[in-house]
């Protein structure tokens, strides 16, 4: 089953999507992924464009490979088992294949930030949490760091809540605040793409709506790729949606189209709650 | 047909279970519960009582003998003049050397095994051997040290030899506790660090080590409290039982002001001093031995207490 979306043959960074012109930030090209030894293929020939400064949502039932795909974007799989990537994820403007063996995973992770399912602040101060991305890069200048940290905490909508206690332990924050802290921590280094892996699944409804508002706000500056189980969330926050099922990309398109007029029967069944 | 049969059977069984006298069984089950709890408590009390009796007996004999002079005097032919100055200074010097050997090697080995070592058969063999090493009788370490440090490397019967021997002896404890401390750090924290572009070593240096330092420190203190009471390997490498002088001072007023000559000096330690006094016929010396034993016990308890305190503090601070 080939996705509805046609991938351009050349790695052009700009093309027309019917109604408007979009810029490509990244593109997944016929990616297959499996853990070695190749007993189970988790992603099968997935192709997907990621448009610049748009929110792309990955939806699908558990075990469909959406988180696996997300984690490919910053080579998280490389930390654990022997893995084999087949295919490419190109990062524009320079069309670099970030899955290539010649590309250092550390470089990829510095360009593509990630926020995890469960808030995972370091057991350090709020300031040190946000500062860590800068410290990793060897930045030591205090004034620059202070400025960047304030900016990214503001971006993450957390500044007003923590500005008086930047040196308190990050673990003293509430779950929703911790998750926004993790977003600020990822934003401080100006990532080209921000990966969100079910960022609200461990949060209460109010914190969830905070984060959703934040996502809409953030896409002015950064390209976002989000995995979510919450279909309403995908419909509310995303511009494009990809539906995955058993390692295949079934359907991709503008979110309003996917959620109102899906062309594949399986997509329709999933979004109407008949399975998954 | 079968369905009807089995249905009927189920019905019969259900009826029988309902008709059983539930209370009779219940009473016996309660009794067994109670019996086990009582047996457990008795065993525990017995063990504690025996230990307490030993300690109280030791303290009753030893405590009256403990005074400032006891700590400031060298051993002597006259029991009332004899003290443990050279013994506790020796113990201190050996402990410092042990710590300098065991901590860097043990922590590094623990980090390597937990963070870097590939998960293969060789790593498994090494892990198994480390656990076995922790159970090797300490006198074996003494024999090894005698052959290697004293005869081959010519370190002599010195503090250096003793420190290295005990360092090797407690190394497995340090390695195992380091690994356990590292393993308590959730993977999500590591992923957060890697996700920001940190290298493996940056992740270890900034997260793994600081967050596990409480556990590692606890392991180090517990291993030192084991080392401080060790006697057999030190007798094997040739600790002297009668020392009426102190090791060379580590600092002096002439250039270069610090000296490591003390590492090469002869020494004795508290358990050996104790052993020496116990093996004498005069009962006055036995009192001295009891006093030394009390000091040693209190030090061990103190060290373990500090370890528990540190662990408690770190557990409270590290929330994930």
Q: Say whether A186 and B195 touch across the interface (CB within 8 A).
A: yes
CB contact under 8 A, B320 and A185: no
| Chain A residues close to B209, C-beta within 8 Å | none
Flag if B196 and A120 touch (Cβ within 8 Å). Answer: no
Residues in CB range of A4: below 8 A, 6 or more apart: A251, A252, A253, A263, A264
Helix, strand, or coil (residue B77): coil
Residue A20's pLDDT is: 61
Confidence (pLDDT) at B102: 92
pLDDT at A12: 40
| A125-139 average pLDDT score | 92
Mutation pick from B197, B211, B319 vs chain A, by most beta carbons of A within 10 Å, is B197
Q: For chain A, which residues lie within 8 Å of any Cβ of chain B, measuring from their own Cβ?
A: 74, 76, 79, 106-107, 109-110, 113-114, 116, 118, 120-123, 132-133, 135-137, 169, 171, 182, 185-186, 189
Q: Is B209 on the interface with A (CB under 8 A)?
A: no
Residue A22 CA to residue A3 CA, distance in Å, equals 19
Residue A178 φ then ψ, to 5°:
-60, -40
Question: Which residues have C-beta within 8 Å of that of residue B257, sequence separation ≥ 6?
Answer: B251
Cβ of A116 within 8 Å of Cβ of B319? The answer is no
Comparing A28-37, A212-221, A260-269, B94-103, which segment has the lowest mean pLDDT? A28-37
User: Is the pTM of the predicted complex or chain greater than 0.90?
Assistant: no
* pLDDT-derived band at A17, boundaries 50, 70, 90: low
Helices B209-227 and B283-317 cross at an angle (nearest 10°) of: 170
Name the CA dihedral angle for B276, B280, B284, B287, rounded to a multiple of 10 degrees: 40
pLDDT of B13: 73
- Lowest mean pLDDT segment, chosen from A122-126, A206-210, B202-206, B251-255: B251-255
Q: Does B279 contact A at CB distance below 8 Å?
A: no
* B318 → chain A, closest CA residue: A123
Least CB–CB distance from B195: residue in A107, A109, A137: A109
Q: How far is B211 from chain A (nearest CA, A)?
A: 8
Residues in chain A closer than 8 A to B320 (CB atoms): 120, 123, 171
Mutual orientation of helices B159-183 and B209-227 as an angle, nearest 10°?
140
Q: What is the reported pLDDT for B3?
A: 60
* List of domains in chain A: 14-271 (3.40.50.300)
Which pLDDT does position A183 carry in this prediction?
Answer: 92
* Secondary structure class of B257 (helix, strand, coil): coil
Note the helical H segments in chain B.
2-19, 22-62, 68-72, 85-111, 121-134, 138-145, 159-183, 187-195, 200-203, 209-227, 232-237, 270-278, 283-317
- Interface check B189 vs A, CB under 8 A: yes
Asked if B119 reaches chain A (Cβ–Cβ under 8 Å), the answer is no
Q: Which residues of B touch A74 (CB under 8 A)?
A: 195
B282 burial via Cβ count (<10 Å: 0-12, 13-18, 19+): exposed
pLDDT at A4 over 80: no
Over chain B (320 residues), the average pLDDT of each successive run of 10 is 65 74 80 95 96 89 78 75 80 88 93 89 90 87 84 81 89 92 91 92 93 89 86 78 69 67 75 84 82 87 86 76
Q: To the nearest whole angstrom, how far is the Cα of B54 from the nearest Cα of chain A?
A: 44
If one counts every other C-beta atom within 10 angstroms of the C-beta of residue A160, the result is 9
Query: Over pLDDT 90: what percentage of chain A?
Result: 46
> Which chain B residue shows the shortest CA-CA distance from A191?
B196
Q: Which residues of B touch A107 (CB under 8 A)?
A: 197
pLDDT at A13: 40
pLDDT of residue A3: 41
Q: CA-CA distances (angstroms) from residue A199 to A138, B204, B314?
A: 28, 26, 29
Tell me the chain A residues in contact with residue B200 when contact means C-beta distances shorter than 8 Å.
none
The strand pairing partners of A90, in sequence order, are: A27, A97
Q: Is the pLDDT of residue A11 over 50?
A: no
Of B190, B197, B318, the CB nearest to A110: B197
Q: Contact B190/B207 with Cβ under 8 angstroms?
A: yes
Q: Nearest residue on chain A to B186, judged by CA atoms?
A: A120
- Give me the pLDDT at residue B195, please: 92
Q: DSSP code of A103?
A: S
pLDDT at A46 over 80: yes
Give the dihedral sign, CA A264/A266/A269/A271.
negative
Average pLDDT over residues A208-214: 90
pLDDT value of position A9: 41
Residue among B32, B123, B83 nearest B274 (CA): B83
Instruction: Pick the most confident of A246-250, A262-266, B41-45, B56-60.
Output: B41-45
Which value does ipTM take for this structure? Answer: 0.88
Contact B189 A132 (CB under 8 A): no
């Amino acid at each position: 089953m080939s996705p509805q979306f046609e991938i351009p043959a050349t790695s052009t960074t700009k093309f027309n999507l019917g109604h408007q012109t979009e810029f490509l930030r990244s593109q997944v090209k016929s990616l297959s992924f499996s853990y070695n030894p190749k007993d189970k293929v988790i992603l099968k020939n997935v192709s997907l464009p990621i448009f610049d400064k748009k929110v792309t949502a990955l939806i699908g039932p558990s075990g469909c490979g959406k988180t696996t795909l997300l984690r490919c974007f910053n080579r998280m799989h490389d930390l654990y088992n022997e893995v084999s990537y087949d295919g490419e994820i190109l990062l524009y403007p320079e069309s670099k294949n970030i899955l290539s063996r010649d590309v250092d995973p550390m470089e990829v992770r510095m360009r593509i930030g990630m926020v995890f399912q469960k808030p995972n602040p370091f057991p350090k101060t709020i300031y040190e949490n946000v500062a860590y991305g800068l410290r990793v890069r060897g930045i030591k200048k205090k004034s620059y760091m202070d400025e960047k940290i304030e900016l990214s905490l503001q971006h993450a909508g957390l500044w007003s809540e923590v500005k008086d206690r930047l040196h308190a332990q990050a673990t003293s924050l509430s779950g929703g605040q911790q998750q926004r802290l993790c977003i600020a921590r990822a934003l401080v280094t100006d990532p080209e793409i921000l990966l969100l892996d079910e960022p609200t699944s461990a949060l209460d409804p109010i914190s969830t709506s905070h984060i959703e508002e934040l996502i809409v706000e953030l896409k002015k500056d950064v390209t976002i790729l989000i995995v979510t189980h919450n279909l309403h969330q995908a419909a509310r926050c995303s511009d494009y949606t990809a539906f995955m099922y058993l390692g295949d990309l079934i359907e991709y398109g503008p979110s309003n189209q996917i959620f109102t007029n899906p062309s594949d029967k399986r997509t329709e069944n999933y979004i109407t709650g008949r399975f998954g | 047909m079968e369905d009807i049969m089995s249905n009927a059977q189920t019905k019969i069984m259900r009826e029988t279970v309902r008709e059983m006298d539930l209370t009779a069984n219940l009473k016996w089950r309660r009794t067994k519960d109670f019996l086990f709890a009582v047996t457990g408590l008795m065993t525990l009390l017995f063990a504690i009582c025996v230990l307490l009796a030993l300690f109280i007996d030791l303290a009753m004999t030893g405590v009256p003998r403990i005074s400032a002079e006891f700590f400031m005097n060298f051993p002597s032919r006259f029991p009332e003049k004899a003290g443990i100055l050279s013994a506790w200074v020796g113990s201190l010097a050996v402990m410092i050397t042990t710590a300098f050997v065991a901590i860097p090697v043990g922590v590094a080995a623990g980090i390597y095994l937990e963070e870097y070592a590939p998960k293969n058969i060789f790593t498994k063999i090494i892990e198994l051997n480390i656990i076995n090493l922790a159970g090797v009788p300490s006198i074996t370490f003494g024999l090894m040290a005698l052959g290697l440090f004293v005869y081959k490397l010519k370190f002599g019967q010195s503090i250096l030899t003793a420190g290295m021997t005990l360092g090797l002896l407690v190394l497995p404890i340090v390695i195992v506790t380091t690994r356990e401390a590292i393993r308590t750090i959730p993977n999500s924290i590591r992923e957060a660090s890697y996700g920001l572009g940190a290298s493996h070593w940056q992740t270890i240096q900034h997260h793994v080590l600081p967050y596990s330092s409480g556990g590692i420190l606890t392991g180090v203190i517990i291993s030192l409290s084991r080392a401080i009471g060790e006697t057999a390997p030190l007798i094997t490498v040739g600790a002297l039982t009668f020392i009426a002088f102190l090791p060379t001072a580590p600092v002096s007023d002439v250039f270069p002001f610090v000296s490591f000559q003390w590492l090469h000096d002869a020494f004795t330690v508290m358990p050996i001093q104790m052993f020496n006094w116990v093996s004498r016929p005069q009962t006055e010396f036995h009192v001295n031995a009891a006093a030394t034993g009390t000091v040693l016990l209190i030090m061990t308890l103190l060290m373990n207490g500090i370890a528990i305190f540190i662990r408690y503090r770190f557990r409270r601070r590290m929330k994930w």
